[in-house]
Amino acid sequence: MNDMKFGTIIAVLEEIFGRGLFWAIVAIAGVVTLAYFYVLIRDRTVNWSKFLLAQLSMPVGAIGAVIFVQAVTVSGFRDIGGPIDAFVLLGIAAAGAIGIAILVYTAQSLIRGKQDPT
């Protein structure tokens, strides 16, 4: 693999997760992102109490993402062989933490609705 192309990355991710699961994850991420933008545009400000709860959920998202990837793939923690594997695991944890924070903030905002600052 001499050339790193977007299509190649998609093919590798489909192979790792399976075509159906990968595209389901992409679709869910797209819906949550659109809902997050909707909430930001609707509220025109960040509610800091909701943001705090979203930040407190970040460790759960990080651990959950790493466990999810370990469960879906054939590898395990004993297969971590070098620094690049550790960096990939840290990247997965960071993506899970950010993803769960956005999900929690968006869910709170959609459930509670727009609140007037007092």
pLDDT, tens digit, 9 for 90 and up, residues 98-115: 999 999 999 999 998 776
And the tokens for 31? 């819906």
11 belongs to a structural domain:
no
Q: How far is the C-alpha of 55 from the C-alpha of 18, rounded, in Å? A: 31
The answer to whether position 31 is within a domain reads yes
- Look up tokens 């545009």; give the residue: 41
Q: Residue 97's domain spans which residues?
A: 20-112
Q: How many domains does the chain have?
A: 1
In this predicted structure, the answer to whether residue 47 has a pLDDT above a threshold of 70 is yes
C-beta separation of 93 from 63 below 8 A: yes
Residue 46 lies in a domain: yes
In whole angstroms, give the CA distance from residue 98 to residue 58: 7
- 68, 24 Cβ separation under 8 angstroms: no
117 inside domain = no
DSSP one-letter code for 79:
G
| Among 6, 1, 104, 85, residue whose Cα is nearest residue 47 | 104
Rounded to two decimals, what is the model's pTM? 0.83
Residue 25 lies in a domain: yes
pLDDT in tens, 54-67: 999 999 999 999 99
